Each structure stands twice: as C-alpha cells, then as structure tokens.
Structure 1
Amino acid sequence: MTKRYTGGCACGAIRYETNDEPIFQNHCQCSDCQKRSGTGHGSYLTFGQRADMAITGEVSTWRVAGASGNEKIHTFCPTCGTPVFLISVAMPEFIAVHAASLDDPEQFSPQMVTYTSHGHTWDKMDPSLQAVERMP
C-alpha cells in the first residue's frame, strides 16, 4: 500500500500532499537551518519529484545561499509565518518539506545528520544516525 504524505502550515492556508516516498530524510545543522528553525537544526523529508506534489495556497518566498553555496528558495505562509518547504535552485525538481509540517510527523524517519560542522554541543542528535560534516 502506498503511503500518503500530507501537511501544511499552522493556519491551514497552505496544504501539500503526495503519494511519493521521500528519497532522503535528515536533520540539518547548517547555520541557515538553525536560524530558520529557531533551534539547533532543521528536519526535512526530501521528495524527488516536485511536480508530483500537490500544493494549494499561496506561499511567500525568500532566497538564501546555503552553506554549500547553492541558492535555496524557502517558502512560508504569509498569514501564520510557518515554514513549509524549500527548493534548491541547483536541483529544482526536488522539494524538501519541514518534518513538523506533516499532518503525521511520526512519518519522519531521519537517516542522517548533515552539516555537523555547524552543530552545537547542546543540540544532541541520535548517535545511531550517520553524521556528516557537509551534505553528501
């Protein structure tokens, strides 16, 4: 049976859904994700076909160069401010949704911690996860 991933912002103005499986799930400790999340890391599910994700509602965006130097497009709800997903300009077919934006956040199953070189000692990660200093 195909798993369905649904989610959106806190106020419900933005919604997404897909039947695709994520190709990558991670905690990211880069400086951008720390600032974006307001804590020590961001948590994401990355899907390989943005075109297969149905998105409703209007998003606001802003762009930033990530730790890799690649430009990222962050989206958020203009009403409640919730970050919902991000897209890498270098890989526009991919879409990464914030794990906590899922209707069922238990669907998130992290495989790796990325950008540990930017991590803080107080941001404890599961030691069983593979940890890398940058993005693989």
Structure 2
Amino acid sequence: MILKGGCLCGAVRYEAHRRPKVSGFCHCRDCQRATGTGHCCYMIFSRDDVVFTGALRAYSMTGGSGMETVRYACEICSSQIFGSGPPEDDRWTVYAGTLDEPSCFKPDIAVMTRCRADWDHLAWDFAEHDGMPG
C-alpha cells in the first residue's frame, strides 16, 4: 500500500510506502494552535518509509513534553505537511488532512485528551490517553 499526499498548492508531495505505525488524534495545545481546531489528525511512520519532494520550511520549538518538536510546511502555500521530534527521532508524523485519499486515514488512538476542548468529542471506540502513552 502506498499512501500519497501533499500540500494545498501541490509544490510538496510525499509517498508513504508502508502503513503507519500509529494513527490518531492529538488534542495537545500545540496541535490545536498549529491546526486552528480542536485536534491534529496524525499518522506516524518510520522515516525510511516516507519520501518527500518539494521545498519545505521548518519551525522548531519545545513541545508540551519538553522535547524539541519540528513542524514542516510548504514554502509556497504554508500548508503543514508533517512533523518530527528531535533530529535523532526515527519517525515522521504526517498530518492526515494532507492525504490525497483522506478515507485512508484509520485512527486507532487519541492522546493528550486532558487538553481536549469540551466541544471536541469524537464518536470513536478506541484507546484514549490523558497524556502520551508510555
């Protein structure tokens, strides 16, 4: 299975060559602010499983965990495409809204639900975690 996606203007494209390790919703304040809504829809892949093309801009900050987090966006349209942890992290967190076929997103977890807004409750039957699962 190959998952494909990209930014709003089409200048950045990606292909994921394996299924995500985890897919879900993150309700942390960073994700709320980055997406402008109640949660981020994400898929976590091994870095070796995803190929990106196009010019990206990176924004680095300290996340809610106290660790470095980096978000990558298209240099032209500013669409956020994916994120990562510190440079030694072996994962890419690809944002599900960038998929060419959004129905390929199959969430299986919700994290940081302690930050979830009262109006942002989803009707899913999967594991929910107050913080990050350990």
Distance 1:30 1:106 in 2: 24
- Structure 1 residues 124, 6: closer, same or farther in 2, change over 3 A? same
Tell me the amino acid that sits aligned with residue 113 of structure 2: T
Inter-partner Cα distance in structure 1 for 2:86 and 2:51: 19
Q: Which residue of 2 aligns with 1:42?
A: 40
Structure 2 residue aligned with 1:19: 17
In 1, the alpha carbon distance for the partners of 2:12 and 2:48 equals 16
Runs of 5+ in structure 1 lacking a partner? none
Matched, 1:99 2:91: no
Partner-residue secondary structure (3-state), 1:76: strand
Is the CA contact 1:70–1:90 (under 8 Å) kept in the aligned structure 2? no
1:127 and 1:103, CA in 2 relative to 1: closer, same or farther beyond 3 A? closer
Distance in 1 (alpha carbons) for counterparts of 2:117 and 2:87: 28
Shift of 1:90: 6.6
- Structure 1 runs (4+) deviating above 3 angstroms are none
State TM-score, norm by structure 2.
Answer: 0.94
Match of 1:86 among 73, 83, 87: 83
What is the Cα-based RMSD across aligned positions, in Å? 1.2
Q: Number of paired residues?
A: 133
Inter-partner Cα distance in structure 2 for 1:10 and 1:132: 31
The farther-off stretch of 64-73 and 78-87 is 64-73
Distance 2:87 2:29 in 1: 19
User: Are 2:72 and 1:72 aligned?
Assistant: no
**What is the alpha-carbon distance in structure 1 between the residues aligned to residue 4 and residue 88 of structure 2?**
22
Quick one: distance in 2 between partners of 1:113 and 1:125?
Answer: 10
